[in-house]
Amino acid sequence: MSGDDRDERAARVESVLRAASRIADVNDPLGMEARRRLPGTSGLSPEGVALALAHHLETGASADGLDTLIDACPPAPRCHVVLAANVCTAAVRASACAVASAAEVFVRPSRRDPVVAELLARALADDDAFTGRLWLNDVVEPESGEVLHVYGRDETIAAYRDQLPEDVSLWAHGTGLGVAVVEESVGLDSAATAFAQDLVPFDGRGCLSPRLVVVHGEMRRAQAFAAAAHAALTREGDAIPRGPLEANDAAALVRYRDTMVTIGEAFEGDHHLLSFDPAPESLALGPALRCALVIPATEVPAPLRRLVTHIAAVGFGGEGPLAAELAALAPGARRSALGMMQRPPLDGPVDLRARL
Amino acid sequence: MRPAPAEISTALHARVRRFIDASMRGEPSEAFDDIARAIAAHQYRSVAPVRRLFDRGERGEGLGEVDRLEVDAIPAVPTDAFRHRRIAAHAPSEDERVFLTSGTTTGLEQRGRHAMRETRTYAAGALAWGRHMLFPDTEQLKVIALVASEEHAPESSLTFMVARFAEALGGDAGYFWDGERLDVEGLGDATSQLTKPALVAGTSFAFVHLLDALGSERRPLPEGSRVMQTGGFKGRTRSVQADELRCAIAELFALPEAMVVAEYGMTELSSQLYQPTLRHRVCGDVSSETTPTSPRGYRAPPWLRVRAVDPVTLAPVAQGEVGLARFVDLANVDSAIAIQTADRIREQEDRSIELLGRAPGATPRGCSLALEHLLTGASE
């Protein structure tokens, strides 16, 4: 591959990041439009949207990160992207990966939440420096030798896989689970604050969002962490309320709350539900609505071992044997410090488990 | 001095069985609410998860109030809790049986467990209501079971019930499902040799399997035969609408549709509900209790109270409105008398219960793993 070609691909990624910067900018018309429309499509509160755009939308990449991204996305004649009702900012990274592969990109936005994809396409169309083309398209018809990225649930991915010509490369971006580990070496209050900063963005609905917190040590330490995290989530929730709950969501939360009251403890706030299981026989995970389960452990518990292939992200609160064991069991998971789980560097797809 | 929990349990079982007997004979019995409160107090003392739910402060406020609690206010244990904890008033060493929820094809789920210190009450209730709704007209039926035998599936409450039915109906039973495969040939032989009426009992999935295997073939059963079909299709590859399935089963066995009776039960309960079509047909029973003004309505026995509750407040909804099924089951002596399910129901004017399927979980958004999909064990 020539250096020029690589430079062109990097330049197209930079264009996507410039477009994203406009969406992140509260004073840019695109940024204003995003803040106006996303509360109605993303399920997030206006404050949650503002947080996502200001702190979790990728607007830059390090030189190393860009290199890694270019390496991760092999060139192709054209690239197609199917977006899901994913976290609302996901279109940016997905588009960056797509333009790194091909100058011509076709994006099928989520019907439920097309906002960022639409704004991105408009920003790129306005950018004279963008050497590629990015079209929004309802029809997904990749041809021989092209690449298709599908974001969504397993069933959606399988449906596309079944229809594809053999020589189309499918990159499947399925669902995943975030796990936080609180080692004995860290203070509970600081770990709780960092954890809350990981759970609040996107209301805990992302594949990087921590749905489970494993606290190294005895039951009382985990319980103390849960209480500290409840306080931290309450503070965060005052500033960043959870998005409005649909009837199904509210009912699912009530069911989960009563289940956890029965088997352990439920720490319910206006905008979160944290649960604690002192002696887990299984993982009583809650719905992805700013919910997380806290458990004590001195080694990776058996029920979690059965789910390791689903772990997309691990947030480490300190170093120790539990963290090391989990890292070894889930080598494909994205690793970060607790508090940084929702700010992965732009170095390719967010989910490192799947590769072409 | 207060009696030991085992003595209390034994005494409560006896009270429940007396209630079952008396109510089926139409004789005066102890009040449902009195027995329910006594069982709730027993569980508050001896079942730690139940006590946690009672004590959380919003509703139950300790044993003093449990004794005076309105039955509709007894905190209901969600069925999910049975997947994560043993809900029992006794030690595992005292288990007579432990019934498990069925597994899904993912194999990742934690199966729910319902530990039984004494199955006599379960058997008494199942038989009494089975006799009322499923075989009120006869004491002799060959049982053709599309469920595994007790030897192969001692953890199945459905198998336990079918085995008790077989014992009560003369003891002649054949089992044609081994948990994975249906013995279509053996079942064909058994049905072709029948000279007297039979009860064919099985899960909806097993019947679909049978229908698929037989195609257009028919297996006519002697007049007076009947079918009990139960359960859904969770985790299975093919599902069929209830009406369509009932019609197909009736056609397969050359039976009137009324003789195909749907049963509703779940591992977390000790009592069952049935559609009243058979009783109406064979007994000509047109009392308000069993008249099928709503063919899809299910009838609960007198020792099982069913309420539709609001999914968020958990307060009872008005008759005719859709809510989640909340059960108070007197036969759940040693676990949780009040059970909250995620099954949507509507209580009809004739007091029958219309089943409307499982409530959906949280609206899927984002890319976080839908663990409900992986982890929810299916109840029978």
Pairwise pLDDT comparison (B319 vs B110), residue with the higher score: B319
Tell whether the model's pLDDT for residue B322 goes beyond 90: yes
Tell whether the model's pLDDT for residue B79 goes beyond 90: yes
Average pLDDT, chain B: 88
**Inter-chain touch A175–B368, beta carbons under 8 Å:** yes
Mutate to test the interface with A, among B368, B373, B376 (most CBs of A within 10 A): B368
Task: Please tell me which residue of chain A has the smallest CA distance to B323.
Answer: A251
Pairwise pLDDT comparison (B361 vs A307), residue with the higher score: A307
Q: Are B206 and B233 in contact (CB under 8 A)?
A: no
Rounded to whole angstroms, the Cα distance separating B36 from B32 reads 6
Strand B198-203 to A169-173 pairing: unpaired
Task: Please tell me which residue of chain A has the smallest CA distance to B324.
Answer: A251
Structure tokens at B211: 């229908």
**Inter-chain touch A248–B360, beta carbons under 8 Å:** yes
**Inter-chain touch B49–A247, beta carbons under 8 Å:** no
- Band the pLDDT of B86: cuts 50, 70, 90: very high
Mean pLDDT of B104-127: 85
Length of chain A: 356
Mean pLDDT of B25-46: 95
Q: Find the chain B residues whose C-beta atoms sit closer than 8 A to any C-beta of A.
A: 49-50, 52-53, 56, 75-78, 80-81, 83-85, 87, 108, 110, 311-312, 314, 324, 340, 342, 359-372, 374-375
Mean pLDDT of B340-355: 92
**Inter-chain touch B367–A207, beta carbons under 8 Å:** yes
* φ/ψ of residue A285, rounded to 5: -80, 150
Q: Is B199 helix (H, G, I), strand (E, B) or coil?
A: strand
**Inter-chain touch A282–B368, beta carbons under 8 Å:** no
Please give, rounded to a whole number of angstroms, the shortest distance from the CA of B370 to a CA of chain A.
7
Q: Which of A80-89, A321-330, B99-108, B111-120 has the lowest mean pLDDT?
A: B99-108
pLDDT tens digits, one per residue of B172-215 = 999 998 877 899 999 999 999 999 999 999 999 899 999 999 99
Please give, rounded to a whole number of angstroms, the shortest distance from the CA of A271 to a CA of chain B.
15
pLDDT value of residue B111: 87
Say if residue A258 is exposed, middle or buried (CB neighbours under 10 Å; 0-12, 13-18, 19+).
buried
B323 CB neighbours in chain A (<8 A) are: none
**Inter-chain touch B368–A306, beta carbons under 8 Å:** no
pLDDT value of residue B378: 32
Mutate to test the interface with B, among A116, A242, A263 (most CBs of B within 10 A): A263
pLDDT value of residue A315: 97
**Inter-chain touch A262–B342, beta carbons under 8 Å:** no
pLDDT value of residue B104: 55
Task: Please tell me which residue of chain A has the smallest CA distance to B110.
Answer: A282
pLDDT value of residue A1: 45
Global pTM reads: 0.92
Q: Are A107 and A134 in contact (CB under 8 A)?
A: yes
Give the residue from A5, A23, A177, A186 showing the smallest Cα distance to A95.
A23
* φ/ψ of residue B168, rounded to 5: -75, -20
Residues in chain A predicted with pLDDT less than 50, given as ranges, are: 1-3, 356
Give the residue from B139, B157, B138 showing the smallest Cα distance to B148.
B157
* φ/ψ of residue B91, rounded to 5: -80, 155
Residue in B81, B340, B371 nearest the CB of A263: B81
Spell out the residues 6+ positions from residue B131 whose beta carbon is closer than 8 angstroms to its own: B24, B168
**Inter-chain touch B368–A251, beta carbons under 8 Å:** no
Task: Please tell me which residue of chain B has the smallest CA distance to A280.
Answer: B84
pLDDT tens digits, one per residue of B243-261 = 889 999 999 999 999 999 9
A263 CB neighbours in chain B (<8 A) are: 49, 52, 81, 84-85
pLDDT value of residue B293: 54
B314 CB neighbours in chain A (<8 A) are: 254, 258
Task: Scan for tokens 């569980």, then name that residue.
Answer: B43
**Inter-chain touch B367–A205, beta carbons under 8 Å:** yes
pLDDT value of residue A220: 97
Chain A to chain B Cβ contacts (< 8 Å): 138
Task: Please tell me which residue of chain B has the smallest CA distance to A176.
Answer: B369
Rounded to whole angstroms, the Cα distance separating A269 from A116 reads 30
The helix or strand, by DSSP H or E, that contains position B226, with its residue range, turns out to be strand B226-230
